[in-house]
Amino acid sequence: MITAEQKPIQEIMEYVRPYSRILLVGCNECVTVCAAGGRKEVGLLSSALQMAFMQEGKVLDVKEMTLERQCDPEYVEELAGSINQVEAVLSMACGCGVQEVARRFKEKPVYPALNTKFMGASERQGVWAERCQGCGDCVLGLTGGICPIARCSKRLLNGPCGGSSHGKCEINPDVDCAWQLIWDRLKALGLEKRYEDIAPAKDWRASRDGGPRRIIREDLAS
Amino acid sequence: MKTQSALEKVLAAGHLAVTSECGPPRGALPDKIKEKAELLRGYVDAINVTDNQTAMVRMSSFAACLFIGQMGLQPILQMVTRDRNRLAMQSDIIGAYAHGIDTMLCLTGDHPCFGDHPMAANVYDLDSIQFVQMVKIMRDEGKFQGGDEIQNPPKMFIGAAANPFGDPFELRVARLAKKVKAGADFIQTQCIYDLDRFEKWMEGVRDRGLDEKVSILAGVTPFKSVGMAKYMKNKVPGMSVPDELIKRMSGVPKDKQPEEGIKICVETMQRLKEVKGVRGFHLMAIEWEQKVPEIVERAGLHPRPLV
Ligand code: SF4
Ligand code: SF4
């Protein structure tokens, strides 16, 4: 899923300070799962903003909505009925959702309430960790199902750097060394031999280095 | 001979090679690099010039190599993949070669979080193995990484690093094998303090015949003080410093510690000379270059051969 965290309340307040009526829009997908921008967080942020402005002697009118998916035009359309009643939109979706709202409602300022972080998985209750960088040419089949691009601090494709120590990465003892994990997994699978094949220089065009990416499915495209 | 490299010649003649290193200054101070390099004249076969070592901005290795080359000494261009993509690396390599630099060390480099620009984007377009492979293809096939032909391709004698003390240990020989397969001609190891572990690694290296395919230069660094020894042990990831050495350093008064550090270093080198497959030494006297001549002499490696 795409993970996100709420921005500092001060930053959000600066965005909405010029307005007295805003639409606060959550999303029911990833940001709900990582407890950053779902219905519940929309409610909490709404009260927090209203109270904070109240202390400054200002009344902020917040209309709350949470869409099924903010990155999908079909659901974003649901905002059409309310958009004219507000001066600005504050979005609690990931960056994709914020942009979809901005694209649909060109005359309305849209602000992000979250910092979108990474594509990751939940390690345990309340902890999410990065797992994929969307490099566009997945190598997990060669690395025992552990991503060297997202999880090795130097995105090394041919094995651990000299800084790998007791299973941890040189940058921080709280970070697992991806190559220790890969090696352990290759061993468990009896695929140690695979390690000695040289992974050639990666073609980063499939990643963001090739420019903004797009998928066109002829069979589905209208 | 693959190249004109002085280091290659020393190794090919069967001598134990000696290299050392100079860290370039943190400013436009040509005299600093010249002073450091001058201390090494006659005591080493070639001088590594570090590339933004520990991710701190310094004069570029390329520029500092030029000063050293102009002094009639032999520089080794170090290059890390952290700061440059493959375009920048290849253009610097042909530029360096055009200026007569014929030996280089291909590294990944410390993560930016260790340096003075932790906020910088890190590049890592290639890893060190892909880097070695690229330089070899440039030299032997005369082709850029992208496939186009190079006019007057750079003939680099290609070095890589090895850390026998990194984890997982069982992978460390395999990793060297990969570097050899990629085209490394020589290897400079991480500083060796833990001789037992180094010898165990070399055993694995010999078992696979890798010592016949690549020239391994054993890395050594003298301790200046017990503080430094402890720092190396506790703070440098992938470094192994046995407790006996810490004890030995703390057993002598502060003013005698530099001499004790040098003694340990010389003894280590003597023992390493006996290890089959060790083809020379890489002496990293960090900000202590003035001690290199003494260490080289005491280790019985002076005078250097004329090749
Ligand atoms: S290899 Fe690429 S696509 Fe696969 S998990 Fe890693 S970043 Fe994602
Ligand atoms: S310690 Fe492991 S995870 Fe960290 S940079 Fe080195 S190989 Fe990658």
- The ipTM of this complex is 0.94
pLDDT at residue B238 in the model: 87
Where do the domains of chain B lie?
Answer: 6-298
Q: What are phi and psi of B23, to 5 degrees?
A: -90, 125
* pTM strictly above 0.90: yes
- Please state the CATH superfamily assignment of the domain spanning residues A2-118 in this structure: Response regulator (3.40.50.2300)
**Interface contact B133-A200, CB threshold 8 A:** yes
Closest CA relative to residue B77, chosen from B56, B87, B98, B289: B98
Nearest to B161 among A162, A171, A198 (CB): A162
Predicted confidence (pLDDT) per residue in A114-126, tens digit: 999 999 999 999 9
Q: Does residue B261 contact residue B284 with C-beta atoms inside 8 Å?
A: no
* A159 close to B (CB below 8 A): yes
pLDDT exceeds 90 at position B130: yes
Say how far apart CA B280 and CA B68 lie, in whole Å.
21
Q: Six-digit token pair at B174?
A: 């395999």
Confidence of residue A69 (pLDDT cuts 50, 70, 90): very high
The alpha carbon of B182 and the centre of ligand 2 are apart by a number of angstroms equal to 20
Q: How far is B59 from chain A (nearest CA, A)?
A: 23
Say how far apart CA B49 and CA B58 lie, in whole Å.
11
Q: How does the average pLDDT of chain B come out, rounded? A: 97
Say how far apart CA A106 and CA A104 lie, in whole Å.
6
The alpha carbon of A109 and the centre of ligand 1 are apart by a number of angstroms equal to 34
Predicted confidence (pLDDT) per residue in B248-295, tens digit: 999 999 999 999 999 999 999 999 999 999 999 999 998 899 999 999
Q: Does residue B265 contact residue B222 with C-beta atoms inside 8 Å?
A: yes
pLDDT at residue B237 in the model: 83
pLDDT at residue B132 in the model: 98
Predicted confidence (pLDDT) per residue in A75-103, tens digit: 999 999 999 999 999 999 999 999 999 99
Take atom 6 of ligand 2 and give the residue whose Cα is closest. Answer: A161
**Interface contact A162-B166, CB threshold 8 A:** yes
pLDDT exceeds 90 at position B307: no
Name the E strands within chain B. 17-22, 46-49, 75-80, 103-107, 157-162, 186-191, 215-220, 278-283
Q: What percent of chain A has pLDDT over 90?
A: 99
List of chain B residues whose C-beta atoms are within 8 Å of the C-beta of residue A161: 108, 128, 166, 238
Q: Which residues line ligand 2 (CB under 6 A)?
A: A 152-154, 156, 160-161, 163-164, 169-170, 177-179
Predicted confidence (pLDDT) per residue in B11-52, tens digit: 999 999 999 999 999 999 999 999 999 999 999 999 999 999
**Interface contact B237-A195, CB threshold 8 A:** no
* A204 close to B (CB below 8 A): yes
The alpha carbon of A151 and the centre of ligand 1 are apart by a number of angstroms equal to 10
pLDDT exceeds 90 at position A217: yes
Q: What percent of chain B has pLDDT over 90?
A: 98
CATH architecture of the domain with residue range B6-298: Alpha-Beta Barrel (3.20)
pLDDT exceeds 90 at position B247: yes
Confidence of residue B232 (pLDDT cuts 50, 70, 90): very high
- Outline which parts of chain A fall under CATH 3.40.50.2300: 2-118
**Interface contact A155-B124, CB threshold 8 A:** yes
* A157 close to B (CB below 8 A): yes
* A155 close to B (CB below 8 A): yes
